[in-house]
Structure 1
Amino acid sequence: MANLRVHSDRLELQLTAAEKSLAFRRSDVVVQREDIRSAIITEDPWIWVRGIRSRGSVVPLVVAVGEWKSHGGTDFVLVKGKRQAVVLDVAGEQYSRLVVSTNRAVELIESLKLADAATPDE
């Protein structure tokens, strides 16, 4: 399963070799922290998969990895089974949304909040 790492300036989605192969990618997905607009946890990630698969692999309700294009932009999807997932809306990046299954959704949201709290308000 992919590893999500929150840094002070970016969020890294570190893909396994198999996930890179299924997504037809050579590199990990990196999103700048300042471009993350919202983050939510969902129990049913499949309802968040929108548009048409443009690059990647899918076995419905089993696994979806890759890029989906819609009128809302391009989404990166990494959904496995019926696991809990995090949905990140992003502005100004390669992707407009990331939908990622993770066993640590709550910890990810908390770490994103902590990073926001460390930034002083003006």
Structure 2
Amino acid sequence: MANLRVHADRIEVHLTPTERALALRSADVVIQRDDIRSATITDDPWIWVRGIRRRGTEVPLVVAAGTWKYHGGLDFVAVKGKRQAVVLELAGGEFARLILSTSHAAELIDRLKLSAEETPAAED
């Protein structure tokens, strides 16, 4: 499974060598935290895969890795079996959505949340 690293300004999706080969991608996926509109945990990631595979590998209900094209843009998918996954809806950048299998979905969502101290106070 891909290794996700959450930083203050970005999220890095480090792909294993096998995932890189399956996704036909040489570079890791990096998204800016400001681009994340929503994050959802799902027990069935396959229902979130939309469009047609543009580049990558898919064996239905077994593995999907790569880029999927739909009428509104591109999604990046790294899904294995029926494992729990995180779906990140994005506002800008290379992809409109990331769908990633992870055994640490709840922890990832918690790390993405901003605490009240980090949120700027509104001024009148």
User: TM exceeds 0.5?
Assistant: yes
Tell me how far apart the structure 1 counterparts of residues 17 and 108 of structure 2 sit (CA, whole Å): 22
SS at match of 2:113: helix
Alignment of 1:97-116 (within 5 A): 97-114=97-114
Identity over aligned residues, as a percent?
66
The one-letter code sitting in structure 2 at the alignment partner of 1:88 is L
Unaligned runs of 5+ residues in structure 1 are none
2:39 maps to which residue?
39
Taking a change above 3 Å as real, the CA distance of residues 76 and 111 of structure 1, as seen in their structure-2 partners, is: same
From the two aligned structures, give the one with the greater helix fraction. Answer: 1
How many residues in Structure 1 have an aligned counterpart in Structure 2? 122
Tell me how far 1:114 sits from its aligned partner: 3.7
Tell me how far apart the structure 1 counterparts of residues 116 and 59 of structure 2 sit (CA, whole Å): 36
Tell me how far apart the structure 1 counterparts of residues 117 and 42 of structure 2 sit (CA, whole Å): 23
Contact 1:8/1:115 (<8 A) preserved: no
Tell me how far 1:118 sits from its aligned partner: 2.0
SS at match of 1:26: coil
The one-letter code sitting in structure 2 at the alignment partner of 1:83 is R
Cα RMSD over matched residues? 1.3
The one-letter code sitting in structure 1 at the alignment partner of 2:93 is E
Tell me how far apart the structure 2 counterparts of residues 48 and 121 of structure 1 sit (CA, whole Å): 35
2:20 maps to which residue?
20
Taking a change above 3 Å as real, the CA distance of residues 118 and 13 of structure 1, as seen in their structure-2 partners, is: same
Output the TM-score relative to the length of structure 1: 0.95
1:81 maps to which residue?
81
